[in-house]
Amino acid sequence: MKKNLIISVWMTIVTTILLGIIYPLVVTGIAQVIFPRKANGQLITQNGKLVGSSVIGQPFSGPTYFHSRPSAAGTGYDAANSGGTNLGPTNKALISRVEQDTATLHAENPKLPVPVDLVTTSASGLDPHISIAAAEFQIPRVARARGISESELQKLVDAHTEYRQFAFLGEPRVNVLELNLALDALSPRN
C-alpha cells in the first residue's frame, strides 16, 4: 500500500511538472518563434499606441466609421464575459431589439435590405468581422459623413475583404478595425 501511494504521489508530481509547466513553456516558445504575431494576440499598434486586436471586435459609433455587429458580451465586446445572449428566435426581447435596430438602419439607408449581421450578435460577442454586404450597406453613410466618394470607399472595402480560407472555409468578410484604421489614413475624421 505504501509503495502504491509513493508511486502515485511521484506520478502526480512528474506529470504536473511535465504537462503543467514544461509542455506549456515549450509550446509557447515555439509559437513565439514561428508565429509571434498570432501568439501575442494579433495586436494592432498605430504611432506606438495599442489600438486593438485584429481578432477581437470593438465598438465603433458615429456616422464617420463602419460599425461592428452588435455584441452581447458583457457590456459589449467584453472578453471576460464572452458569449451570446442565448435568446431564441421567438424571444420577444430579441425580436424587439432586432426590429428596432432594423428600423434605425433602414432610416440610414432605405434603398437596401439590412444585412442580418448588422442586427444580430455573434456566438462569442467578440466577432471582429462583418459581411461584405454589411460593409457595403454602410458606405453611403460613411461617405456622406466623411465627404468622400462612395467609389473610394468601395475600393477600400474591396482592399480589406478577406476571402474564404483555402477557398472553401468560412465566408468572405471585412475586419472592421482594420477597415476603420485604413479609413482614417485615407480621410481623417472631421
Residue 126's pLDDT band, with cuts at 50, 70 and 90, is: confident
Closest CA relative to residue 136, chosen from 148, 121, 151: 151
- What length does the chain have? 190
Residue 16 is inside which H or E element, if any? helix 2-17
CA distance 100 to 186: 32
CA distance 71 to 62: 17
CA distance 43 to 113: 34
Residue entry with cell 454589411 = 134
Average pLDDT over residues 28-56: 87
Angle between helices 132-146 and 92-108 (to 10 degrees): 50
3-state SS, residue 69: coil
pTM of the model as a whole: 0.79
What is the per-residue pLDDT across 67-108, written as a single tens digit (0 to 9) for each?
998 888 767 777 777 776 777 888 898 889 899 999 999 888
185 or 82, higher pLDDT = 185
Residue 189's pLDDT band, with cuts at 50, 70 and 90, is: low
* pLDDT at position 81: 76
* pLDDT at position 47: 84
What is the per-residue pLDDT across 14-24, written as a single tens digit (0 to 9) for each?
999 999 999 99
Q: What single letter denotes the amino acid at residue 154?
A: Q
Percent of the chain at pLDDT above 70? 97
CA distance 56 to 73: 11
